[in-house]
């Protein structure tokens, strides 16, 4: 921990242009804390810098242009499941902001808090005699919630409860009040029949199962959100045949020839589904970005980093969008997938 701590404090003091004396004073304090108690605490400023640089270092993220705008809610002092639940509701409300989404991270005590959810708001999945109802990606977690006493309604879009665990205690289950959940019904700018599909999606993606690593300290409960890129919903969540699998239905309704691949019926349905998602979020004034704009913003990020004298690292296979990837500059160049810290990482599931 000592080496990571020293490297992080040096990075922080150099990038925030603090004096040599201030740096030395903080290094001595941190080294003493680690020697005496095997641990040290980040100041709120160090924590904010660590969370923002962690985003800047996220190789799979196309949205990094705005890394310095990340809002940080410091909830390290909370110690009860109930207080942490209230902290998560505060995050949802602050981040949602009635649709003008604010990229936000809430940091809970690094010691022993875990949020079991993949995202703070996500739909349940139920295995039934004739197939899965809801989100197939949620089937396992939905079963876990039901084992813990939660009762789902068995619908296509049931919002899962928050599951909070402290240490080895029994995890606590909390339903999110409906007024905290902003959703967008999906309709199409030209196809009147589209709304009859009964599709909707939640406004804010809030990842709650990754850990934030800063200067040798691991924050295992640090949910963060941005806004969606339209393809995540239109090309994956509603399109994958192992998610909501909507392409065949949409193609039928469009009157396309679904019996031959070469009619490109899947591609035509995909484009219309993505157009519908972007149209619906914009009409409801919920933040969203299309993949072309997102790629242009990423290009600006790359040039900003160049100017700052930093090498951009990235994961090409995740940075290219799943719709029309070769229409973006990202597709046509390589990226170095070197892992830097601070950063966000996967961690062992708590169940």
Ligand X SMILES: N=C(Nc1cccc(CNC[C@@H]2CCCN2)c1)c1cccs1
Tell me which H or E stretch contains 294.
helix 291-307
Shorter beta-carbon distance to ligand HEM: residue 63 or 87: 63
Which residues are near ligand X by CB under 6 A? Answer: 205, 207, 224-226, 228-229, 232
The verdict on whether omega for the bond into residue 293 sits within 30 degrees of 0, i.e. cis, is: no
Tell me which H or E stretch contains 202.
strand 200-202
In the list ligand HEM, ligand X, none, the entry touching 289 (Cβ below 5 to 8 angstroms by class) is ligand HEM
Shorter beta-carbon distance to ligand X: residue 225 or 280: 225
Tell me which H or E stretch contains 104.
strand 104-108
318 is catalytic: no
Tell me which H or E stretch contains 7.
helix 2-15
Tell me how far, at minimum, the Cβ of 297 lies from ligand X, in Å. Answer: 13
145 is catalytic: no
- Chain positions 104 to 143 lying near ligand HEM, rule: CB under 6 A, are 105
In the list ligand X, ligand HEM, none, the entry touching 66 (Cβ below 5 to 8 angstroms by class) is ligand HEM
226 binds ligand HEM (CB under 6 A): yes
Instruction: Give the x/- contact pattern for ligand HEM in 325-344, rule: CB under 6 A.
Output: -------------------x
62 binds ligand HEM (CB under 6 A): yes
265 binds ligand HEM (CB under 6 A): no
Please report where in the chains the tokens 């813990």 appear, as a residue: 148
Which part of the chain contacts ligand HEM (CB under 6 A), choosing from 147-155, 183-191, 219-227, 299-307?
219-227
Binding-site size for ligand HEM (CB under 6 A) equals 19
316 binds ligand HEM (CB under 6 A): no
Interacting residue with ligand HEM among 126, 202, 219, 224 (CB under 6 A): 224
- Candidate list 55, 61, 67, 114, residue with the active-site label: 61
**Closest to 297 measured CA to CA, from 264, 328, 270:** 328
Is 284 exposed, middle or buried (CB count within 10 Å of its CB: 0-12, 13-18, 19+)? middle
> How many C-beta neighbours within 10 Å does residue 301 have?
20
227 is catalytic: yes
In the list ligand X, ligand HEM, none, the entry touching 62 (Cβ below 5 to 8 angstroms by class) is ligand HEM
Whether 145 has a binding-site annotation, put simply, is no
- Distance, in Å, from the CA atom of 189 to the CA atom of 279, rounded to the nearest integer, reads 7
Using alpha carbons only, give the angle 327, 330, 335 rounded to the nearest 5 degrees: 160
CB 232 within 8 A of CB 203: no
Interacting residue with ligand HEM among 61, 246, 275, 286 (CB under 6 A): 61
Q: List Cα–Cα distances, 272 to 202, 254, 287, in angstroms.
A: 19, 10, 19
- Distance, in Å, from the CA atom of 163 to the CA atom of 165, rounded to the nearest integer, reads 7
Residues contributing to the site for ligand HEM (CB under 6 A): 55, 58, 60-63, 66, 70, 103, 105, 224, 226-227, 229, 232, 289, 294, 318, 344
Catalytic residue positions?
A: 61, 64, 227, 232
């Amino acid at each position: 921990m000592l080496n990571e701590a020293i490297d992080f404090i040096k990075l922080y003091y150099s990038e925030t242009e603090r004096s040599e004396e201030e740096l030395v004073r903080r290094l001595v304090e941190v080294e003493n804390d680690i020697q005496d108690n095997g641990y040290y605490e980040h100041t709120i400023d160090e924590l904010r810098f660590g969370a923002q640089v962690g985003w800047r270092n996220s190789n799979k993220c196309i949205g990094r242009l705005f890394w310095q705008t990340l809002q940080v809610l410091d909830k390290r002092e909370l110690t009860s499941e109930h207080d942490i639940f209230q902290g998560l509701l505060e995050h949802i409300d602050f981040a949602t902001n009635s649709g003008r989404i604010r990229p936000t991270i809430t940091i809970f005590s690094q010691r022993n808090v875990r949020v079991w959810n993949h995202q703070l708001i996500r739909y349940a999945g139920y295995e039934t005699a004739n197939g899965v109802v809801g989100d197939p990606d949620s089937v396992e977690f939905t079963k876990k919630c039901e084992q813990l006493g939660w009762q789902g309604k068995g619908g296509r879009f049931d919002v899962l409860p928050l599951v909070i665990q402290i240490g080895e205690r029994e995890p606590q289950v909390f339903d999110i009040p409906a007024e905290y959940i902003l959703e967008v019904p999906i309709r199409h700018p030209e196809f009147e029949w589209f709304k009859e599909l009964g599709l909707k999606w939640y406004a804010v993606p809030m990842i709650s199962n990754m850990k934030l690593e800063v200067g040798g300290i691991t924050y295992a409960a640090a949910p963060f959100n941005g806004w969606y890129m339209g393809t995540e919903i239109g090309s994956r969540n509603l399109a994958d045949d192992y998610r909501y699998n909507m392409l065949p239905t949409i193609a039928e309704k469009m009157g396309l020839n679904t019996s031959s691949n070469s009619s490109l019926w899947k591609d035509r349905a995909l484009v219309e589904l993505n157009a519908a998602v972007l149209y619906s979020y914009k009409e409801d004034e919920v933040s969203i970005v299309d993949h072309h704009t997102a790629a242009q913003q990423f290009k600006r990020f790359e040039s900003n980093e160049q100017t700052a004298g930093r090498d951009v690292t990235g994961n090409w296979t995740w940075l290219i969008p799943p719709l029309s990837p070769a229409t973006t500059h990202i597709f046509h160049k390589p990226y170095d997938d070197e892992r830097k810290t601070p950063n966000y990482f996967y961690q062992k599931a708590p169940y």
